[in-house]
Every structure is written in structure tokens, then in C-alpha cells.
Chains A and B, each alone.
Chain A
Amino acid sequence: MGRIDRIGEPWGTRTPYGPGETWPTRVDSFLADGLTEDDVDRWVQSATILHSNGDGLDIAVKDDRIVGVRGRAVDRVNHGRLGPKDLYGWQANNSPHRLTRPLIRRDGELVETDWDTAMDAVAGRCRELLDERGPSSIAFYTTGQLFLEEYYTLGLIAHGGIGTNHVDGNTRLCTATAAAALKETFASDGQPGSYTDIDSADVICLYGHNMAETQTVLWSRVLDRLAGPNPPQVICVDPRETPVARAATVHLAPRPGTNVMLMNALLHEIIGNGWVDSEYVEAHTVGFEELAKRVQDYPPEVAAEVCDVPAEDIRRAARIIGHAQRLLSTVLQGFYQSHQATAAAVQVNNVNVVRGMLGRPGCGILQMNGQPTAQNTREAGADGDLPAFRNWSNDSHIQDLAKVWNVDPMDIPHYSPPTHIMQQLRYIEEGSIRFFYVTATNPAVSLPELARIRSLLSQDRLFLVVQDIFLSETAQLADVVLPAATWGEKTGTFTNVDRTVHLSEKAVDPPGEARPDLDILIDFARRLDLRDKDGAPLVKWSDPEGAFEGWKQCSKGRPCDYSGLSYDKLRGGSGIQWPVTEEHPDGTEHIYVDGQFWAQPDYCESYGRDLVTGAPLDETEYRALNPTGRAVLKAAEYLPPHELVGEDFPFQLITGRTLYHFHTRTKTARAPQLQAAAPEVWVEMSASDAADHGWAEGDLLEVRTPRGRVEAKVRVSGIRPGVLFLPFHYGYWDQPAGHEPDGHDRAANELTLTDWDACSKQPIFKTAAAAVTRLAAGDGPSLAPTTTGSRPVSADVPPTRGGDDALALEQGGAR
């Protein structure tokens, strides 16, 4: 251990360990400008923000500027490790491009203004519309990157104060299906797994989950198990040859859009061969008969045909799963952003449930999140759910929430589930939503069918507010832009996939006049003069800790119970897993122990939905189905994708991410080491497809769908034939035209179609039909990373390296 280029070696040095052992500590750090730890004035506790893993870290501060980061050795999540995005990404905080003053549109141009003018314009337009058109003309679209305290306050303002049902987060794009799948099987959100399950699992299945790139530190944990004695077997489902696929015992690469077919076939084998824990199923589940009947029609030979995967590989994977002693299953965008998303993710739950692999070490499910604080968007009620997993169709839950907020239950809209973003956009399109308040996200690059999105957001009749730290593509379309503080410049908590809550403390002041999101939201509420039913201010707090105390009260007695936590308790040590209560003051590593679920009709968050039509079940139906609150085994028939390949559009297009960038690159492109590792868009194609066309690595291609075109250099990679891959990170903010294409289109979402899973409402980014032509022969290889899923098949491409600027420190042993 020592100094190492973490661009060239994203997972760092191996620290092997065996089953049941503690993962060794390795402390990673990176300081700017050749500084050493002795130069640092102070270290401020926080956690990682550019992915969903939730690794504990300390922020290094010198002369009141952030100068680096160091992993926290005591933290249960990372044992000191950090990923490349964490080591280098903090530099974006210090970027000269930060927004430092509010902007307002005057005569078509965004010009600087003061906070009073900007906030009066925002609150004024909101009030005007409330008076003229009512709360259904107001919508909020937030993120997976704020803090819990901010989401909870936003949900309170929107649901309890303004009374609109139109509240969602961009978590809809990354983690909506995770929540939906958990609600289908367990009738409540809440992760039935723990990262520590990796330490003892003997089989780890990754379904559409390129963990090596999306959660690098978690993948290091798997790599360390693989390098140790008695390593686990790994099963990978992914159409690309990802680092996970290369490490897998069995790699299944199905045609995009056929996940349900594949999962039904796996279940067909598991149930057909009797690899079922009958006692567990008998005692703790409902619906086994229907599941068994449903999957009868899906023998591996049928799936082999539809998915184009060898039947023997499906059998082999099923056999490994069927004989697992400790089975960990994880799921991400390959399932969530694909056709029949929820049905496929639910089948993963079903695998663990029928095998009785839940609620003990090594046995868990991680329906992953994409963003650092997505879990909180879901918990706190800022994304189409009500706070603390309350059930919008259970009147007593609404009454209870109204009591916590001291408002009339009628003031909390609950006539239908909160309006998801794709439906909000439809209402913006038809003109019934006229005020759209966007916090910390960039829909003008991240949503499907960008030409449509730009046109909707540019309408004169729409008042668009964007609260962000950079002038993103979306901000450029706004009527008012509010400059926000970010991670390291404000205090708050956030929670990762395995329910670990971290405190992130303020290390430095935000630049210029930028303000914490919480302060801006509270200011908004004050200007709207939102009050409770006794005439007191609706929002009862003025700082993060006050909001956290409010949240503790709101979450008490619910599955995500924070009542036993406090800022003091989170300071100094490791993150803590909810629920944290009087009985479990140190948190809870495994939920669903001994088949005890949160699914009782009076308690559960959701009565479930039809997996094909998305129609919600009502209370009576749910009570009849599951009177005592067991796990629900559900399954759906396979349906072909909605956009099929044909003569004109012969390729299947999937979009995705790379290890070195986050979301729309607003932060990662401003960290030089990360930007250099993946500087421009590329398109992946298989070697056989490239050979058929006579094309070579680095040729400039045009990818077309009925909705748009993108130009990119081709990376000939290990992707399955017939499929093209485009990273979705690349928009236009660092190009001349600013927020839209100027002839050299490069945003993958120019091409994607407007379609979503009817159950989770998650847009489909991985099932479009596309055509591809060559514009020019290449003058060198594509600049896509060589270390990741975009690894070239040719040995001639220079490897991705970070050089001296990317040397980070690794320190072994206890600290």
C-alpha cells in the first residue's frame, strides 16, 4: 500500500478475507496540491455523495477551503475506503462556475438579482396561481442528492401546506422500481439486506447491477471476498461484458427487454427442482401456488429462445442459486430502467423468499439506489410517497400524519398516489400545471425524449424555478434560478441503501450568496405564509437539527424509525442502520428476521399494484389476500417490449453510466481527473456487428431513433451483438449552445422513448430501437474508459490512467 493511481485502479489494492471474517480496513485519502495530513486545519465528518453507497469520510479543510477527503476507518460501510468519484469529485465544490447570486429572467435573459427579488417572484407567482387555479397547478420535482431534512421540509410544504399532490424526485429515474418491488413483496419499502451480507454470502447474484462502476467500494468488498479463501460464486445478468460479468461464475447476457422471461425461467427451475424452503414458504408467505403456476409456462428452452441465452446457462445459474446456503441478491438499473421493471425486480425478491434466504447474515436482498440520498427522498415523502412509509390509501395513516403536522387531514391530498414526474410533465404539456419548482436535478438532460422535455419546459405559460449549484441545462430554461449550497457547505443527514444513516457536517461556507436548500425552502414557506390549523407557522424549525427532530417524531413507530437517533449519536463513530429505537438504540442490521414483515393491512405502506396495468389494489382486496401480513409472492407474464427492432431500426439501444461520472456530469466534469478519464460520449458496439459493417474502433457513428440523433465515436466492446450502449451523462452545458444540441447532438436521451413501467412509473431507458450509420472513419480510438464495462476488445487502445495528478494514498491496518 502507498500511493496509487485510482483512475487506473478504481478499486484499489486487494485486502482478501474469508467467509464470516471482518473486512480488513484500508484508509484511502486524497489531498490537493501535494498537501499532507499535517497541513490540514481540520477534518469534518461526512459521507460520500456521488453514488448511493454511503461511505463514511472526513472532509479536509485548510484556510476555510475544502482540500481533500479521507475515508473513515470506523465506518461500517467502507472500513476506510473511497471510490474515484469520492477522491476527486469534491473539487467541483471549488469550481469558479458555481452559482453565487440568484438569477431572474428579464426580457428573455437571465440576469443577477438579490434574494428578496428572486424569492418574492417565486412565492408571488405560486400564490397567484394558488388563488387563480388552485394547488393542482403547482408541482415540485426534487432529487436524490439533498439531505433528509430538506426532503422532509419540502414534503411538508408541498403536501401539508400548499396541498398539491404533484411531488416527485428524480429518484423516479433511479430507484422507483426498488421501492415498488419491495412494496409488492413486503408491502413496505425498507431494504431486506445489509452490506455485511457480502462477508458471509456463498452466492451473490447481481441482476442488471454493474456494481463495479455504480458502487465501487461495495464491489471492492466483493473483490476482496473473491481474492480470499472459500470465495462466493457470482452470477451476473447483464447484456454488457462488465467487470462484474468478468468476475462471474455464470454470466447471462439476455436481449434487452426480456428480463421477466429470464427470471420466470430461473424460478421455473428453482421451483421445479424443489429447491424451495417449504417450511418458510408455508409459514411466512402467500401466493406460492399462483407463482408456481405462472412460471410453469417458462421452461429454460422457451427463455433461451426469447432472451437468446443458452438454456444450459440458465439451468446452471438456477442450480447455483438453488444450492446456495447464504444467498445475496442485488438489483439495479439493468432491471429498473427496462421493460417490465417491477415484475422483473419482484421475481428477484421471490427467489430469496422461496429459498427462505432473508433476515440472517449472508441472506439478503439489496434493491439498490442510484443516488446518495435517494432513500431519504422515499422515506421523507418527497417522491410520490408519504412521509415515513405511510400508506396514502389508508385513512388512518393520513389522520396520523395530519396530527404530526397539525393540519386538517383534508388538506393532505390523498385521492390518488402522489403524481409521478412523467405524469407531471403531461400536465405541464396540457397546461394544468403552471408552476414547476426543480431542486438539484437536471431533467433537460436526464429525462427521456429530450426534444419533448425542452419544448415543455420552455413554454411561456410555465413558471420554472430551478435551485441548483451550477447553471445546468435546465437552469438555463428557468424563470428564476436559486443558487444553493452543496455537500460540505451545509449540515444534514442521509441514508444509504442498507439503511445506514450518516451525518454530514458543514465544513466551509457556500460561495457568494449561495444558501442551503433548507434555508431556501423555509424562506419560501414563510413568504407564502403557510400555517398549521392553529395559525402557527407550518414549518416549525429553522435549522437542520430542528428538522431532524421533527422527522424523528414523524417516523416514530413506522418501519423507518429514526426516533432513537440524534445528531450527537451520529457524530464521531460509524453510520447507524435504521430502525433505531429505544429497544434497538444501536440500530438494526437485519430486518425481516424470522419471517416477520411490515405487511399487516393496518400497518403496511402499500396494498400493492397489478404488475402489468399498475392499478392499485384496494384495502378490501389486500385484506383478503394477506390478512396476517406475510410476504406476497407475485409474478407476471412476459410481455414483449413496446418498441421492437425492425428493418429501419435494427439495433436495441440501452443507455447507462460509467464509473467516472455522476448523473449529468455537473460535478464530475469539473473534477479534472474524472473528466479526463471519460472526456466525451461514446457508443459501444460488439465486435461482430462492427465487423459486419466494416467499422473499426474510433469511427464516428450516428445513432438514430424516431426521436433524435447522437454522434459518437464507436468503442468496440464486449457488449452482446445487436445492442448499442450510450452513456447518458453527456449534455450540453459545456458546449457552445449551452442547453441544447448545436448540430453535434450527444445526449443519449435525445434518443430514448417516453414510456414507463406502469407499476413503478420508472421511465424505460433500456429498450429502444435504433439505427446506426458511419459518418467518418476514425482518427484514433474512442476515449471511452478501458478499465470498465467499456473495455475495448482491441489491445491497441491506450489504457485509462490518471497519472501523477491522480495519486491517492492507501493506508492499511487500524487507524
Chain B
Amino acid sequence: MKLGLAIEELHRSENHLARVLLAVSDRHKADHEVFYVARDIAGWSQRHVTELARIGADFGVDLDPEPEGEPGILERIQQATSDLLGRRPEPGLLLLADLRHVHREAAGVSLDWELLAQAAQGARKRELLALAERCHPDTLRQMRWANAKLKESATQALVS
């Protein structure tokens, strides 16, 4: 059985998604809603990382329950830069690119949860299936957020 592999992969991709969301947040400090919501929902991925590490032990994989990297000095510089660039139009386009990136990453994580749920069902691993059913909706909400924010931001960024 390769369930451990699937858990390990998801642990990696959730960690990555959390980092992407935090980086987007830092880059768009002047866009306050993006700054705060991206941080709030990065927390979902971080929680998933912890839960995956816990259940990973049952499947013979040793994963770090601590999510990677809280923002350090580099991120603070990025936030300050974002504030300084607040009066310029370019961050609007950068935001579209960043949201597109979040959507793609979250879509990848979503597929990973699908894979894990399918495998858990096949292997009759109830606890693992329950975990997937609990966490996967969060990923879908992360995707929907990126999609909705992109739609909302596109017109002003591209037309004005």
C-alpha cells in the first residue's frame, strides 16, 4: 500500500500552499483584505499539515507536525515594500498573477485530497477518510477565494 506516500505528498503540498498564501499576503500588505484573508486561510493549510503528520504515524511516515516557516525578516521587508508601492498601479497586475498562482496550487492540493480520499475508501481506512472529508472542503474554499478575488480585481486592474 502506498497510502503513506500519498499522505507525505499532501503534507508537502499543504505546507507549500500555506507558504504561498503567506507570501501573497506579504506582497500585498496595501491590499488589506488580501493581506488578512490570505493569512487566515493559510491557517487552514497549516492545520491540515499538523493533522496529516499525526495520522501519518499510523501509516509509517514520520512527518513534522509544525508547519514550515513563520514570516521572518525577508517577509517584513516585503510588507514594507508593498506599502511603499501602494501609490503605484503595478501591484494590481501582480495581484492577478499571484491569485492565479494560489488557485493553481490549491487545485493541486485539492486533487491530492481526492486521491487520498479515494485510496482511504478503497483501503477502508475510516479515520483517514474522515480526515479527507473534513479538510478537503477548506481547500475548495481556498480555491474559490482565489477565483472570486481574481474576478473581482481583474476589471479595475486591466481596464483602468
Q: Does A658 contact B (CB under 8 A)?
A: no
Q: Does A337 contact B (CB under 8 A)?
A: no
> Is the beta-carbon distance between A615 and B33 smaller than 8 angstroms?
no
Contact with B along A750-767 (1 / 0, CB 8 A): 000011101000000000
Write the chain A residue with the least CB distance to B86.
A429
Query: Which of A416, A417, A429 gathers most chain B CB within 10 Å?
Result: A416
Kindly state the interface size class of chain B when it binds its partner.
20 to 34
Interface residues of A in 730-766 (CB under 8 A from B): 754-756, 758
> Is the beta-carbon distance between B89 and A136 smaller than 8 angstroms?
no
A254–B40 Cα distance when bound, in Å, is 22
Total chain A interface residues with beta-carbon distance under 8 A: 30
**Residues of A close to B37: CB separation below 8 A:** 612-614, 758
> Is the beta-carbon distance between A610 and B145 smaller than 8 angstroms?
yes
Q: Does B87 contact A (CB under 8 A)?
A: yes
A639–B91 Cα distance when bound, in Å, is 28
A615–B89 Cα distance when bound, in Å, is 24
> Is the beta-carbon distance between B156 and A613 smaller than 8 angstroms?
no
Q: Does B12 contact A (CB under 8 A)?
A: no
Contact with B along A210-253 (1 / 0, CB 8 A): 00000000000000000000000000000000000000000000
A419–B145 Cα distance when bound, in Å, is 17
> Is the beta-carbon distance between A613 and B86 smaller than 8 angstroms?
no
> Is the beta-carbon distance between A432 and B145 smaller than 8 angstroms?
no
Q: Does B101 contact A (CB under 8 A)?
A: no
A754–B159 Cα distance when bound, in Å, is 26
> Which of A417, A616, A639 meets B40, CB within 8 Å?
A639
Tell me the smallest distance from the CB of A615 to a CB of chain B, in Å: 4
Write the chain A residue with the least CB distance to B32.
A754
Q: Does A527 contact B (CB under 8 A)?
A: no
> Is the beta-carbon distance between A415 and B33 smaller than 8 angstroms?
no
Contacts A430-B92, A612-B41: A136 and B156 contacting too (C-beta < 8 A)?
Answer: yes
Q: Does A431 contact B (CB under 8 A)?
A: yes
**Residues of A close to B142: CB separation below 8 A:** 613
Write the chain B residue with the least CB distance to A613.
B145
Q: Does B100 contact A (CB under 8 A)?
A: no
**Residues of A close to B41: CB separation below 8 A:** 612-613
**Residues of A close to B149: CB separation below 8 A:** 615
Interface residues of A in 92-151 (CB under 8 A from B): 133-134, 136-137
> Is the beta-carbon distance between B30 and A133 smaller than 8 angstroms?
no
> Is the beta-carbon distance between B152 and A416 smaller than 8 angstroms?
yes
Q: Does B76 contact A (CB under 8 A)?
A: no
**Residues of A close to B151: CB separation below 8 A:** 415-416
Q: Does A524 contact B (CB under 8 A)?
A: no
> Which of A137, A417, A615, A756 meets B145, CB within 8 Å?
A615
Q: A136-B156, A430-B89 are in contact. List 20 more A-B contacts (CB 8 A).
A: A426-B30, A427-B156, A429-B30, A429-B87, A430-B86, A430-B91, A432-B89, A433-B160, A610-B141, A610-B144, A612-B41, A612-B141, A613-B144, A614-B148, A615-B145, A615-B149, A616-B148, A754-B32, A758-B36, A758-B37
Instruction: Pick 17 A–B contacts, CB within 8 A, sort by A.
Output: A136-B156, A415-B155, A417-B152, A422-B32, A423-B33, A426-B31, A430-B87, A430-B88, A430-B91, A610-B141, A610-B144, A613-B142, A613-B145, A613-B148, A615-B141, A615-B145, A755-B36
